[in-house]
Amino acid sequence: YVVLGFHLALKRKLSFSCYILTLPAVFLSFLTLVVFALPSEHVEKSQLGLAIFGSLLLLLLIIVEAAPPTAYAVPLLGKHAICARL
């Protein structure tokens, strides 16, 4: 028998997930806790809450645009691999 082996090394770029997704989410979570710490008499509490909501909405829009589109159909390689196992 002929044995054919492959070694594939992939490296992931952590800068995108760290700087674009994680840090803004942590910072906005911290600011949300600050809103709860403010007394209810302050006018700035509602303004800060709305600004945080807008920032979270913008972050979610960035995440949706950056995510790869999902496939609605099964690729041919997947179909053949499933049929071969049956």
Prediction pTM value: 0.59
Asked if residue 2 has pLDDT above 60, the reply is: yes
Model pLDDT for residues 15-60, shown as the tens digit of each residue: 766 777 788 888 998 999 989 988 888 888 889 999 999 999 998 8
Q: What is the pLDDT of residue 51?
A: 93
Q: What residue ranges do the domains of the chain occupy?
A: 14-67
Q: What is the pLDDT of residue 85?
A: 55
Closest CA relative to residue 61, chosen from 8, 24, 18, 34: 24
Model pLDDT for residues 64-86, shown as the tens digit of each residue: 787 777 766 766 766 666 555 55
